Structure 1
Amino acid sequence: MTQTATYPDLDGASVFITGGGSGIGAALSEGFLRQGAKVAFIGRSDATEFVDEMTRATGNTPLFIQGDITDIAALRGAMDQAAKAHGPVTRLVNNAANDQRHATLDVDEEFYDWSQSINLKAYFFACQHAIRGMKSAGYGHIVNFTSISYMMGNAGYAIYTTANSGINGMTRSLAREFGPDQIRVNALAPGWVLTRKQLEKWADPDSLAAHLDRQCLKDHLGPEDIVNPTLFLSSEASRMVTGQALVVDGGVAVTG
């Protein structure tokens, strides 16, 4: 990964990332580690090899806590473990999500609850728990990952797009509520980022070509393209930015 900017306030900062061991999350972990941050992340799959890789590549060792973000007690416990190791979490990145495709007429309550537990409920409770510590620290920065899928009105995963839209509403309300505590809350909406999962499951040549045709910039997005915008929102470089949704998609969705 090429580091294009340095944010001095991230050096030594306590960062917690959900899903920080794979896909976009792994790139985020590396980006923060290269800034000198103290990074902790939670993930369901064993990330020991990734931790070793990051130690070799960055000289900075992340704290991996294995767990499921839909288990709210485990999520809170992981955040407490991170705070004990690194000091109060002052940067939270809610990244973990699951964009499992589904046909609306086939959805039952079990699938609905499962999807929302990952894509919205865990985000709220991670924010809630982080904010308690940020209030004691006197400041904090939260980045909630959403997606342009709801802006585009995409079909094929209505529960996921519903959660994406909800994340934006939650972000704005939390920014308003906790701004007086010097806590900034922003959303980041990536476009189609070609992680290994996307390439294996849904990125067939025709779909890729059609999506690229919609982009102003004719390059596919990779996980590394999301790192610098996240670092910016997590640093004092964006000191007066809060309650916003930053779109990083090569120019598909137009905001403003």
Structure 2
Amino acid sequence: MSYAIYPSLSGKTVVITGGGSGIGAAMVEAFARQGARVFFLDVAVEDSLALQESLRDASHPPLFRRCDLRSADAIQSTFSEIVDIAGPIEVLVNNAGNDERHEIDAVTPTYWDDRIAVNLKHYFFCAQAAAAGMRKNGRGVVLNLGSISWHLALPNLSLYMSAKAGIEGLTRGLARDLGEAGIRVNCIIPGAVRTPRQMQLWQSPESEAKVVASQCLRLRIEPEHVARMALFLASDDAARCSGRDYFVDAGWYGE
């Protein structure tokens, strides 16, 4: 299949969190193939270095930086380093997260704090760090990754769904507060995406077939499909899109 080329993304400085694998890795490749200058953050060093090596032929090979996004100090220092290398960040993709399953009775205050740090807190502080340069430029794009999970009330994901619902609220707030500076903020909500992690941990042939049967389109969603939405929303083609949710879920309405 052939896909759109967005000239407005060429040469843009793009930061993608959780870019070492899955949806994040697809986004790293997609933006790099558009000629963007991509920096991606992750704690999975082996996967990230392999991805970096595989994209050495891009016009601007993407660069990996290890960053524990649970630490606001680590975020600030990593973003400052990127700005020193490439100038102000023009596109931020807040993608990192972890959909660890849990039983309600097993949740402790410490576990709650860690899951919120992994799935929500860094979205704000990464946006805060990127917005400083975007304000100076008078433009910029922040894309937040939500989840279909809380829209469908999937089981054993209460903390994850709380964070993902919060991301949609955060998207509205940031879009309003940053809009006067010309910064667009949107939320991408993937459905059941066929990533290696999902297939290894949560999906079986039977559950996969059940999901597909619940979708309007009886087709599996691949990471690249989510990445293509990100490209559009980051490009000038989406110049009047802000404060909204964009679903890439094949019309999944649950059982």
Length-normalised TM-score, structure 2: 0.96
Contact 2:191–2:249 under 8 Å retained in 1:
yes
In 2, the alpha carbon distance for the partners of 1:140 and 1:33 equals 18
In 1, the alpha carbon distance for the partners of 2:67 and 2:179 equals 30
Structure 2 residue aligned with 1:152: 152
Alignment of 1:90 with 2:102, yes or no, is: no
Query: Does the residue aligned with 1:126 lie in a helix, a strand or coil?
Result: helix
Structure 2 residue aligned with 1:210: 210
CA distances 1:7-26 after superposition (whole Å, capped 9, x unpaired): 11100001000011211111
Equivalence map 1:1-256=2 (5 Å): 4-46=3-45, 47-56=48-57, 58-253=58-253
Contact 2:35–2:59 under 8 Å retained in 1:
no
Query: Does the residue aligned with 1:127 lie in a helix, a strand or coil?
Result: helix
Shift of 1:64: 0.8
Shift of 1:253: 4.3
Aligned residue identity for 2:116: Q
Which sections of structure 1, spanning at least 5 residues, go unmatched? Answer: none
Shift of 1:222: 1.1
In 2, the alpha carbon distance for the partners of 1:34 and 1:115 equals 33
Shift of 1:209: 1.4
In 1, the alpha carbon distance for the partners of 2:232 and 2:253 equals 20
Shift of 1:173: 0.9
- The aligned length equals 252
Contact 1:148–1:253 under 8 Å retained in 2:
no
In 2, the alpha carbon distance for the partners of 1:97 and 1:45 equals 12
Shift of 1:49: 2.1
Query: Does the residue aligned with 1:150 lie in a helix, a strand or coil?
Result: helix
Aligned residue identity for 2:140: G
In 2, the alpha carbon distance for the partners of 1:48 and 1:201 equals 23
In 2, the alpha carbon distance for the partners of 1:105 and 1:48 equals 38
Shift of 1:74: 1.0
Contact 1:141–1:234 under 8 Å retained in 2:
yes
Shift of 1:3: 5.5
In 1, the alpha carbon distance for the partners of 2:233 and 2:78 equals 23
In 2, the alpha carbon distance for the partners of 1:113 and 1:121 equals 10
Query: Does the residue aligned with 1:65 lie in a helix, a strand or coil?
Result: strand
Q: RMSD over aligned Cα, in angstroms?
A: 1.3
In 2, the alpha carbon distance for the partners of 1:52 and 1:242 equals 34
CA distances 1:17-67 after superposition (whole Å, capped 9, x unpaired): 0011211111100000000000001110222221111113x3431111112
In 2, the alpha carbon distance for the partners of 1:225 and 1:159 equals 26
Query: Does the residue aligned with 1:181 lie in a helix, a strand or coil?
Result: coil
In 1, the alpha carbon distance for the partners of 2:129 and 2:60 equals 26
In 2, the alpha carbon distance for the partners of 1:3 and 1:45 equals 31
Length-normalised TM-score, structure 1: 0.95
List, as ranges, runs of 4+ consecutive aligned residues in structure 1 with deviation greater than 2 Å: none
> CA distance change for structure 1 residues 13 and 253 in 2, over 3 Å: closer, same or farther?
farther
Q: Percent identity between the aligned chains?
A: 38
Aligned residue identity for 1:248: V
CA distances 1:87-118 after superposition (whole Å, capped 9, x unpaired): 10010000010000001121111111111001
Query: Does the residue aligned with 2:56 lie in a helix, a strand or coil?
Result: helix
CA distances 1:111-133 after superposition (whole Å, capped 9, x unpaired): 11111001110111111111111
CA distances 1:123-160 after superposition (whole Å, capped 9, x unpaired): 11111111111101211001000001111111211000
CA distances 1:172-229 after superposition (whole Å, capped 9, x unpaired): 0111111110000000000011111101000112211111111011111111111110
